Every structure is written in C-alpha cells, then in structure tokens.
Amino acid sequence: MDLPVKSLMSSCITRFEILDRYLSDPDTAPSALTGEERAYFSDPRRRGNLPLRISPHFLSLMGPGKDDPLRKQAVPRIQELDATAHELSDPLGEDLYSPVPGLVHRYRDRVLLKMTDLCALNCRHCFRRSFTGGARGPLTEAQADGAAAYLADHPEVREVLLSGGDLFTLEDDVLFDRILRLRAAEDPGERRRIFRLCSRIPLVTPERITDALIRELVKTGPHWLVVQVNHPRELSSEAVAVLGRFIDAGIPVVSQAVLLRGVNDEEEVLEELFQGLVGLRIKPSYLFQGDLARGTRHFRVPLLRGLELMSRLEGRLSGLALPVYAVDLPGGGGKIRLTPERHEKDEEGLRYYRGFDGKLYGYPLEG
C-alpha cells in the first residue's frame, strides 16, 4: 500500500534537535554537527531563512565525515546568514515577469508555474529561497484557472515548466486537478503543450513515485521530467529504479546540476556524474553557475574556475554527456550560455554578459 504524500513529508527531518541526535549517534552517525553547522542553529537570524528539511532517503545517503557532498547540500552552515552586497532576494528577477500569480513568463514560448512552495529537501543553495519553504502551500484552484486563462490567451507558449517548490509534494488528487485545469486551456484541435516536471523528488524521496502517479502522468502528457542531480552519490539504486520507470513509461528525463563549491567542483566528480546519467538514459542538459541568492556565497565557484572545468570536460565527454554551462543573469537578464561571444568586458570585479534584451549584466568574478 502506498503512503499518502503527507505522511512521507512528515517523516522529513525539520527540527534541529532531531538532526543533532541523528548525527551524534555513533551507530548511524555520519559525523556530529560541526562548529559551522551548530553556529547556524544557535543564531537568531535564522528565523525567516529557508527552514531545515531533509528527507529520510537523502539523509541515508550521506556519507561519513563533515565534508560530505550531500551533507553540504542539506545541512545549513552559519555562512548562510551572511549576505554579500551582490546578492538579491529575487536573483532572477522573476517578480518582474509575473503577469498572474504563480506564473513567470520571460521567454516567448515557455512559462514557468510555481505549483507549490514545498520541497522534500530544502537545498541550502536554493536560488528561489525567498519563495520556497512551505508557508504558502499549493497553487490554488483559482490560481490554476488564472494561469490557464493566461495560457489560452498566449498560444505561442509551447512549454509549461511545472516548478516550485516541488510539484511531487502535492497529493495526486491536487496535482492532477491542477494539471487538468491547465490542460483545459488547450484547444482540442491544437498540439498539446509540453509540461516540464521540475523535481528533485525522484532522487530525494523516490518512494513518492508510485505506479499510479506515473500512469496518470502518462494520461495527461506529454510530459518531460527535469531532475536536479548534483553529485553521483545521489544516484542511489532506489532513485535509479524510479528514473528508469519514468523513461520506460515514455516520459523522457533530462538533468540539471548546479556547480557547487565543495560538492561537485572537480573534473572527476562532474565526469562521473554526467557519464553516470547518460548510462541511465538521462541527458545532462544544464550545468548552472550559482545564482546570486542571499546567503549562498559559500557555494559559488568563481566563474573562471567554472569555465576551466567546462573546457576540460569538453575534451573528455561525449556530446551526449556534456551539458551546457549557463547562468541566469542577475536582476532579470535571463538564462544565457556562458560562451565567449556573450562576454563583453570585465570591470571592477564584475564580468559583463549581454542578455537577450541587449543590456549588459554583471556577475561577480569571484562569485
């Protein structure tokens, strides 16, 4: 019998005391809380910051030692509470492009819809951290209808990114109610829009993915699944099995990774990750330079280091395995490939790239 999502979600670790106890137990313990982690939890400024949330599966994948690449993504450190001058609460400028609540329309043929603000793992590097965390809840029926009306008026939109938060934290009945409301915006004579399911859940809470869920997805498609995978160790046997079920059911899977200091900023790690994904029939699509979200400086890799890593990987990986290195230009410049043609100049510690609107946007060279 499959568990409802709510009980899966309530099994996540959300309290410091529980995490402390788990990490301090010499039988299970990867390693007790470090000074930087403990300092975070005793700092009152953490109120209002992205809350702690770690799924039991992700916790079980953490290896020993305080420098574990999965632990760094999940356990907050004190550095999160220090914002730099370049960091922004809405680093992508999404609020500038939101014509109706929950929907972001920045590129002509595709929109992004925030289905909920809840996730099964609150990634400490999350760039949408001022939105995520679970205080708002699911997109309401009225908001879904509003988005559908907007889509009906915009036939040029060919892809809808169902994002968040994480859409698979929704119960099936809520998820499919919203999907069907969006599908109702389509003219029966027209090609159906592609819905892109953006989720980490197949990796962080694979038990959420049931046969019933996949069956309903197939009926309401076409869908593509886009997963975020940052380190090869996230590809647990459970996750691999779940990803294979999507693909076997006819839902293609692509992956994205965020370049993260101390997690995957080594050639060998990225090579293993991308080759591993291709072996699972998953195309690595993007490697993202970190966005300038508040309190994420300790994760960002200097641009020149990222470019160097990519050029070395180009010599080692096949076209299938190599993703595109890209950044969302801070302040609403859009997503661009970090290629030499887009690079305009370096000035006062910033590297300037030209956005699609023709304007220049600076990204700090040192992260």
Binding residues for ligand PLP, rule: CB under 6 A, are 104, 106-107, 110, 112, 161, 335
Tell me, yes or no, if 248 is annotated catalytic.
Answer: no
Contact 109, 314 (CB under 8 A): no
Q: Which residues contact 121 (CB under 8 A, 6 or more apart)?
A: 12, 53, 54, 55, 58, 73, 74, 200, 204, 205
Is 123 among the residues that bind ligand SF4 (CB under 6 A)?
Answer: yes
Q: Which stretch binds ligand SF4 (CB under 6 A): 164-172, 246-254, 317-325, 351-359?
A: 164-172
Is 94 among the residues that bind ligand SF4 (CB under 6 A)?
Answer: no
Tell me, yes or no, if 119 is annotated catalytic.
Answer: yes
Q: CB nearer to ligand SF4: give 69 or 164.
A: 164
Tokens of 263: 């997690």
Distance from C-alpha of 299 to C-alpha of 184, rounded to nearest angstrom: 41
Is 119 among the residues that bind ligand SF4 (CB under 6 A)?
Answer: yes
Tokens of 264: 């995957």
Tell me, yes or no, if 291 is annotated catalytic.
Answer: yes
Cβ count near 96 (within 10 Å):
11
State the nearest-atom distance from the C-beta of 97 to ligand PLP, in Å: 7
Tell me, yes or no, if 335 is annotated catalytic.
Answer: yes
Tell me, yes or no, if 363 is annotated catalytic.
Answer: no
Q: Which residue out of 46, 72, 124, 126 is catalytically annotated?
A: 126
State the nearest-atom distance from the C-beta of 131 to ligand SF4, in Å: 8
Is 128 among the residues that bind ligand SF4 (CB under 6 A)?
Answer: yes
Start-to-end CA distance of the chain, whole Å, equals: 47
**353 bridge partner residues:** 343, 361
Q: Which stretch binds ligand SF4 (CB under 6 A): 17-25, 39-47, 92-100, 125-133?
A: 125-133
Q: CB nearer to ligand SF4: give 68 or 234.
A: 234
Distance from C-alpha of 329 to C-alpha of 351, rounded to nearest angstrom: 11
Reduce the DSSP state of residue 139 to 3 states and report it. coil
* Torsion angle (degrees, nearest 10) of CA 121, 269, 162, 155: 170
Q: Give the strand pairing for 350-354 and 360-364.
A: antiparallel
Is 322 among the residues that bind ligand SF4 (CB under 6 A)?
Answer: no
Q: CB nearer to ligand PLP: give 161 or 235.
A: 161
Tell me, yes or no, if 95 is annotated catalytic.
Answer: no
Tell me, yes or no, if 110 is annotated catalytic.
Answer: yes
Q: Which of 114, 200, 223, 261 binds ligand SF4 (CB under 6 A)?
A: 200
Q: Which of 91, 146, 165, 330 binds ligand SF4 (CB under 6 A)?
A: 165
> Does an H or E element contain 160, and which?
strand 159-163
Q: Is 32 left (phi over 0), alpha (psi -120 to 50) or beta?
A: beta
Q: In what order do the strands lie in the sheet with 283-288?
A: 103-107, 110-114, 159-163, 194-199, 223-228, 253-258, 283-288, 324-329, 334-337
Is 282 among the residues that bind ligand SF4 (CB under 6 A)?
Answer: no
Chosen from ligand SF4, ligand PLP, none, partner binding at 106 (C-beta under 5 to 8 Å by type): ligand PLP
Cβ count near 26 (within 10 Å):
6
State the nearest-atom distance from the C-beta of 205 to ligand PLP, in Å: 23
Chosen from ligand PLP, ligand SF4, none, partner binding at 126 (C-beta under 5 to 8 Å by type): ligand SF4
State the nearest-atom distance from the C-beta of 129 to ligand SF4, in Å: 7
Tell me, yes or no, if 106 is annotated catalytic.
Answer: yes
Rg (CA), the chain: 20
What angle is formed at CA 286 by the lines to CA 75 and CA 270, rounded to 5 degrees? Answer: 60
Is 122 among the residues that bind ligand SF4 (CB under 6 A)?
Answer: yes
Tell me, yes or no, if 107 is annotated catalytic.
Answer: yes
State the nearest-atom distance from the C-beta of 336 to ligand PLP, in Å: 9
Distance from C-alpha of 308 to C-alpha of 207, rounded to nearest angstrom: 38
Tell me, yes or no, if 12 is annotated catalytic.
Answer: no
State the nearest-atom distance from the C-beta of 163 to ligand SF4, in Å: 7
State the nearest-atom distance from the C-beta of 92 to ligand SF4, in Å: 12
Distance from C-alpha of 82 to C-alpha of 85, rounded to nearest angstrom: 10
Using CB under 6 A as the criterion, which residues of the chain lie in contact with ligand SF4 when the complex forms? Answer: 119, 121-123, 126, 128, 132, 164-166, 200
Give the residue numbers marked as catalytic. 106-107, 110, 119, 123, 126, 128, 291, 328, 335
